[in-house]
């Protein structure tokens, strides 16, 4: 069995020897190489064995005792504490993920394209520029620098006039929707049909009653909305999820007229408006009616969902209620990632990343469309002009849910369009995300799909 000295000596090869020994001892305990109850040498003895100052060993013993890895009792020395190596954190880290050979679920950007170097630089600059007072409790509505940069960005990219005080920074778009739901208690809320089932579940969990409103190739049916009796509606106007259609200009006008006439509220989820290939950008609806539209955005589809940075521009009448709800919820989002994002936007890094990924995603979209045309010509792609996914319309009579199940057995994750429906019965289809897979993987995925006879799913 290895001695303590043999376990820790390799850590002395580099610099910062105290930190290295501390890390090595922590890892030896976590991995089980040092068993629970093992008695460690005295600080004087271990310092002599390793050739380091006694104060170095004393400090690392104190640190690991504070973390719960060691037990120190006067007269009994220092021992390895009982440690649940199969605790929740380790179980979560080692849990087996579903074995998808081809994961075509929508909603994920190319995580491998995340600008790690630029983000690290932005974090470093943000930390260096943050005074000591900036490390206290944050402004619950968001870092002032980020709100200012976002106001300018939304003005030039989304034609959305806004000031920093109009913006509340949230933990992703999901929290923005939660804050709005809490400000609108007990209401019936219209949602597009089809739409993301997670959003309807979130709204229901906050006490609202989602009501599906049909979507066609011009977007949400505003006449059906007016007949529903709902006073709030959630829309993805720039790129409807999942069908990919843009809300027709006439429907936009009718929707805003409905809001003005009834005092209704439109929740505009602008989830992936920056990604477009074959059409110009569409301006945000909030620019036309700021008192009737709450605007939601995030970096999840541009950078990565893991950053958990989103923003909400509520109507003026709801801003104070939203700000209070945000403060009560978590006292505000972490300020350092916000400051890093502000730096990335201010220095052009955010726009450079968008230019790179637009080219990347267009190439991947084209590869998927070409592969479908070659191998499954009876399947018609729709909603292809923008976004990170497309819908393939299947031949009439196809059971898309059964096809989804058959594809899952073959290692392909391809959600059925019917799983996004609330009440309306639309055409059968699959919702295929293409952003996260390289062109050759997309072609291989289509080949695998083509090997599953779609007629067998009818």
What is the SS3 string spanning the chain?
Answer: CCCHHHHHHHHHHCCCHHHHHHHHHHHHHHHCCCCCCCEECCHHHHHHHHCCCHHHHHHHHHHHHHCCCEEEECCCEEEECCCCCCCHHHHHHHCCCCCCCEECCCCCCCHHHCCHHHHHHHHHHHHHHCCHHHHCCCCCCCCHHHHHHHHHHHHHHCCCCCCHHHCEEECHHHHHHHHHHHHCCCCEEEEEECCCHHHHHHHHHCCCEEEEEEEECCEECHHHHHHHCCCEEEECCCCCCCCCCCCCHHHHHHHHHHHHHHCCEEEEECCCCCCECCCCCCCCHHHCCCCCEEEEEECCCCCCHHHCCEEEECCHHHHHHHHHHHHHHHCCCCHHHHHHHHHHHHCCHHHHHHHHHHHHHHHHHHHHHHHHHHHCCCCEEECCCECCEEEEECCCCCCHHHHHHHHHHCCEECCEHHHHCCCCCCCCEEEEECCCCCHHHHHHHHHHHHCCCHHHHC
CA dist 154 → 41, 163, 170, 299 (Å) = 61, 10, 16, 13
Structure tokens at 157: 């990219």
CA dist 101 → 413, 437, 441, 448 (Å) = 8, 11, 10, 10
Structure tokens at 322: 């939203």
Q: What is the pTM of this model?
A: 0.85
Cβ atoms of residues 45 and 77 within 8 Å: no
CATH 3.40.50.11900 fits 116-350, yes or no: no
Would you give per-residue pLDDT tens digits along the chain (458 residues)?
467 877 787 767 655 577 888 888 888 888 888 888 899 999 999 989 888 889 889 988 988 888 888 998 877 789 998 866 555 444 454 455 567 999 999 999 999 999 999 999 999 999 999 999 999 999 999 999 999 999 999 999 999 999 999 999 999 999 999 999 999 988 999 999 999 999 999 999 999 999 999 999 999 999 999 999 999 999 999 999 999 999 999 999 999 999 999 999 999 999 988 888 887 778 899 999 999 999 999 999 999 999 999 999 999 999 999 999 999 999 999 999 999 999 999 999 999 999 999 999 999 999 999 999 999 999 999 999 999 999 999 999 999 999 999 999 999 999 999 999 988 678 999 999 999 999 999 999 999 999 986 554 44
Count of other CB atoms within 10 angstroms of residue 314: 26
Architecture of domain 4-80 in this structure: Orthogonal Bundle (1.10)
Tens of pLDDT along 70-82? 998 877 789 998 8
Q: What are the residue ranges spanned by the domains of the chain?
A: 4-80, 102-110+352-457, 116-350
**Cα separation, 30 vs 23, whole angstroms:** 10
Within 8 A by CB and 6+ apart from 263, the residues are: 231
Tens of pLDDT along 303-349? 999 999 999 999 999 999 999 999 999 999 999 999 999 999 999 99
What fold characterizes domain 102-110+352-457?
A: 3.90.1150
Cis peptide upstream of residue 194 (ω within 30 degrees of 0): yes
**Within this chain, domains 4-80 and 116-350 share the same CATH topology:** no
């Amino acid at each position: 069995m290895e001695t303590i000295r043999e376990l820790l000596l390799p850590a002395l090869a580099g610099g910062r020897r105290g930190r290295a020994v501390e890390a090595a001892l922590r890892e030896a305990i976590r991995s089980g190489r040092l068993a629970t109850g093992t008695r460690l040498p005295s600080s004087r003895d271990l310092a002599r064995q390793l050739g380091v100052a006694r104060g170095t060993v004393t400090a690392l013993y104190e640190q690991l005792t504070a973390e719960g890895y060691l037990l120190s009792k006067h007269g009994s020395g220092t021992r390895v504490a009982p440690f649940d190596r199969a605790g929740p954190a380790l179980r979560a880290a080692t849990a087996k993920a579903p074995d998808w050979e081809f994961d075509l679920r929508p909603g994920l950007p190319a995580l491998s394209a995340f600008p790690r170097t630029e983000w690290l630089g932005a974090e470093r600059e943000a930390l260096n520029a943050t005074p000591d007072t900036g490390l206290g409790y944050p402004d619950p509505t968001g870092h002032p620098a980020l709100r200012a940069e976002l106001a300018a960005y939304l003005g030039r990219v989304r034609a959305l006039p806004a000031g920093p005080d109009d913006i509340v920074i949230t933990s992703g778009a999901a929290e923005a929707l939660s804050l709005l739901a809490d400000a609108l208690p007990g209401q019936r809320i219209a949602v597009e049909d089809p739409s993301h089932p997670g959003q309807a579940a979130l709204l229901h969990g906050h006490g609202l009653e989602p009501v599906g409103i049909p979507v066609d190739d011009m977007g949400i049916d505003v006449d059906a909305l007016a007949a529903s009796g709902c006073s709030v509606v959630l829309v993805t106007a720039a790129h409807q999820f999942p069908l990919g259609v843009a809300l027709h200009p006439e429907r936009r006008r009718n929707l805003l007229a409905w809001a003005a006439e009834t005092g209704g509220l439109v929740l505009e989820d602008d989830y992936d408006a920056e990604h477009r290939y074959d059409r110009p950008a569409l301006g945000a609806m909030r620019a036309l009616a700021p008192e009737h539209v709450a605007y939601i955005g995030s970096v999840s589809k541009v950078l990565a969902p893991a950053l958990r940075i989103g923003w909400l521009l509520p109507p003026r009448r709801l801003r104070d209620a939203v700000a209070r709800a945000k403060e009560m919820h978590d006292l505000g989002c972490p300020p350092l990632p916000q400051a890093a994002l502000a730096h990335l936007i201010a220095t052009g890094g955010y726009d450079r990343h968008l230019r790179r990924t637009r080219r990347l995603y267009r190439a991947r979209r084209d590869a998927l469309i070409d592969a479908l045309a070659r191998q499954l010509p009876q399947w018609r792609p729709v909603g292809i002009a923008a976004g990170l996914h497309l819908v393939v319309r299947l031949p009439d009579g196809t059971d898309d849910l059964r096809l989804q199940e058959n594809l899952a057995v073959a290692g392909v994750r391809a959600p059925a369009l019917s799983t996004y429906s609330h009440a309306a019965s639309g055409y059968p289809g699959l919702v295929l995300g293409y952003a996260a897979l390289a062109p050759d993987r997309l072609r291989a995925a289509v080949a695998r799909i083509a090997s599953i006879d779609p007629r067998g799913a009818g």
